[in-house]
Amino acid sequence: MKFVSIWKPNAAVWSAPPDETQMAAMGQLIGELMSAGVLLDTGGVSDGGSSLRVQRTGGKVTVTDGPFTETKELVGGFAIFKVNSREEAIALTQRFLEIAGDGMSELHEVSEFS
């Protein structure tokens, strides 16, 4: 099973850069999960100022430039996991949040097409 985790930090976490301890802990977690073949890809996302929304409605496409006004709309990063169960994806996300701090991660199972 593959899952994509989309991290949405709260305003306090977003506005304060991670300290050296957090960076080291996150680096260790990423290294561990990459070596185990569980973490397939991960990355941070730039602030909302360079974000775009592309939307199609009734055949018309619109593009909206950020920044977006609500903090809950900000995405801080993503990770793609290959795990054996939904519970394993939840446990990995909990480990990430313990280091990253307050916020929310959305987990979406990835449909794989042959």
What number of H helices and E strands is found in the chain? 3, 6
CA gap 39, 88 in Å, rounded: 12
Cα 91 to the chain's mean position, in Å?
Answer: 15
Mean pLDDT score across all residues of the chain: 88
Model confidence pLDDT, tens digit, residues 96-109: 999 988 889 999 99
CATH: 3.40.30.10, 3.40.50.10700, 3.40.50.2020, 3.30.70.1060. Which one for 2-110?
3.30.70.1060
Model confidence pLDDT, tens digit, residues 10-64: 877 777 788 899 999 999 999 999 999 999 999 988 766 677 889 999 999 999 8
Instruction: Tell me if residue 55 falls in helix, strand or coil.
Output: strand
Domain spans in the chain, listed from the N-terminal domain onward: 2-110
